[in-house]
Amino acid sequence: MNINLAINEGSKFLSSNFIPNSYLDSEILMAKTINKDRNYILLNPTKILKKIELINFSNLIKLRSSGNPIAYLTNKKFFWNSEFIVNQDTLIPRPDTELAVENILNLTKQKNKINILDIGIGSGCILLSILKERKSFYGTGIDISKKCLNISKMNAINLKVSSRLKLFKSDVDKFNLGKYDLVVSNPPYIKKCKLKYLDRDVIGFEPKQALDGGLDGLSEIRKVIKKSSELIKKNGKFILEIGFDQKNKVINLLKREGFYINSTQKDLANNDRCIVSTKI
């Protein structure tokens, strides 16, 4: 069977299993199978596939049809300006989270050599994107998951920022090292009882530890705010990603811990998603 036919078959199978963007996904999985980019596929539609390639392709199509996210099947996700390695230990970087990066870059245009702390670094997408753009900045990332730290380490090496990054395996409560000019976090913020309503691709495959915000969705946010208030320098900035219905509650928590609210931003779906505040 040739490349084009296989992609068509794969796409038909995916759409019969209710996978949106089935043709694109089929193309991406073909590119992964034959270890080429999508351009190669477009230029070589009649190339005949080896038997083993066809078997591998059909296995990937089956995995995708049962909801496995494309990012986990390819182990890649593009975020901001870079490609990140991801696997099932890390949340897949979301376009919404680019708001945090945008805010930080805007806030630090005139800054030099600042120290940034990322609480719950995951794949590293936020902090490493910043370190890549601002060559004089230093970063510290903490995460409860050692496996995530391994992934962010690999990403830091790929992005050539690892010499300016320190990583620690730690619970947010227990981390007490350093003082920071800026703190950023995208903590788990979904209410426990709402987890089961997330998309199948999300709840079936992404790490619950990175999503579960406890009974009221704010358990981790509370800890992150408290810890940031301790570790941030006076006048330091705090950038926090939040759930769509958490803005007012989180603003109150921040004020109680001595933060001044600078701004809040909405994501592409017009949901409140990011809060910028200053420690006073």
The contact set with ligand GLN (CB under 6 A) reads 94, 186-190, 198, 202, 211
Q: Angle CA(69)–CA(74)–CA(75) in degrees, nearest 5?
A: 90
Cα Rg for the chain, rounded, in angstroms?
Answer: 21
Closer to ligand GLN by CB, 159 or 202: give it.
202
User: Least distance from C-beta 55 to ligand GLN, angstroms?
Assistant: 33
Nearer to ligand GLN, 69 or 187 (CB): 187
CB of 196 to ligand GLN, least distance (A): 13
Is residue 207 within 8 A of residue 89, CB to CB? The reply is yes
Contacts of 71 (CB under 8 A, 6+ apart): 77, 86, 92
Smallest gap from Cβ 97 to ligand GLN, in A, equals 8
Residue closer to ligand GLN by CB (options 105, 198) is: 198
Query: Angle at which helices 146-158 and 125-133 pack, to 10 degrees?
Result: 20
Structure tokens, 250: 């989180």
278's torsion region: left (phi>0), alpha (psi -120 to 50) or beta?
Answer: beta
Of 120 and 139, nearer to ligand GLN (C-beta) is: 120
Q: Work out how close the CB of 225 gets to ligand GLN at its nearest, in angstroms, rounded to a whole number.
A: 14
